[in-house]
Amino acid sequence: ELKVEQNPLFLSMQEGKNYTIYCNYSTTSDRLYWYRQDPGKSLESLFVLLSNGAVKQEGRLMASLDTKARLSTLHITAAVHDLSATYFCAVDSTSGTYKYIFGTGTRLKVLA
Amino acid sequence: EAQVTQNPRYLITVTGKKLTVTCSQNMNHEYMSWYRQDPGLGLRQIYYSMNVEVTDKGDVPEGYKVSRKEKRNFPLILESPSPNQTSLYFCASSPWDKNTGELFFGEGSRLTVL
């Protein structure tokens, strides 16, 4: 069964600080996604990671994928208030089924 | 504008009264899916469809039905809603090819069942 675990579930951090959100998944999957959700809004795609060792960066966010460890990280550099949101990782199944499994999300609050 | 459109955005109904939440996408995507979002549980997939007339269960399909008669539309049907189906529902579509399964989400439909 494909499961996705994120930690931490809640993260409160000061502006200017760095932090990392972790995403572990339980079975083989070569495709991992990060999404952002602002309060009361829908989800928007941040990163698509397709292979082992993939690294993508957008502004203060950098995501990486280690398929051997079944681990992805979302690193936040010098956080700013605008990054306050809930971040979800997700994996899809490309063998046999086409299910899509989300983690429970990390609610990030950046304090001024 | 490329988008996924859900209707209604908000709905309050009573137990047992059948309802349909519509979903339409204009991106010619093969893959469409429905999710419910509940506090502390993240998003859970209800049903997905890889193409017209091809649908399959996600992780929480009980109490829901779907159909995919046209590529662009993927309605979610609650035949006999119950209070435990009170939730925020999202429809999403994806090109779903070998390079990506990136999801494009609708705005969400908040359903309350009394």
* DSSP conformation letters of B49-87: EEETTEEEE-S--TT-EE--SSTTB--EEESS--GGG-E
Query: How much is the pLDDT for A112?
Result: 86
The backbone torsions φ and ψ at residue B74, rounded to the nearest 5 degrees and listed phi first, read: -150, 80
Going by pLDDT thresholds of 50, 70 and 90, the confidence category of residue A102 is very high
Chain A residue set in contact with B, beta carbons under 8 Å: 31, 33, 35, 41-45, 48, 50, 88, 90, 92, 94, 97-105
Percent of chain B with pLDDT over 90: 90
Buried b (16+ CB within 10 A) or exposed e, B46-78: bbbbbeeeebeebbbbeebebbbeeebbbbbeb
Select the residue of A50, A88, A98 nearest B99 (Cβ to Cβ): A50
Average pLDDT estimate for A56-67: 96
Residues of chain B with pLDDT under 50: none
Chain-chain contact of A50 with B108 (C-beta, under 8 angstroms): no
Query: Which amino acid is it at A12?
Result: S
* Residue pointed to by tokens 């994120």: A6
* Residue pointed to by tokens 């908040």: B110
Query: How much is the pLDDT for B96?
Result: 86
Q: Considering chain A, what is the average pLDDT of its residues?
A: 92
Angle made by CA atoms B97, A48, A60, in degrees to the nearest 5: 160
pLDDT digits (tens, 9 = 90+) for B60-92: 999 999 999 999 999 999 999 999 999 999 999
pLDDT > 90? residue A26: no
pLDDT digits (tens, 9 = 90+) for A31-60: 899 999 999 999 999 999 988 889 999 999
Cβ contacts of A94 on chain B, cutoff 8 Å: 101
Tell me the C-alpha to C-alpha distance, in Å, between residue B80 and each of A57, B16, B40, B76, B95: 45, 4, 25, 12, 32
Query: How much is the pLDDT for B98?
Result: 78
State in Å, rounded, how far the first CA of chain A is from the last one: 41
Chain-chain contact of A98 with B106 (C-beta, under 8 angstroms): no
Closest CA to B43 of B105, B101, B98: B105
Q: How far is A107 from chain B (nearest CA, A)?
A: 10
Q: How far is B47 from chain A (nearest CA, A)?
A: 9
CB B96 within 8 A of CB B85: no
Query: How much is the pLDDT for A38?
Result: 97
Query: How much is the pLDDT for A94?
Result: 66
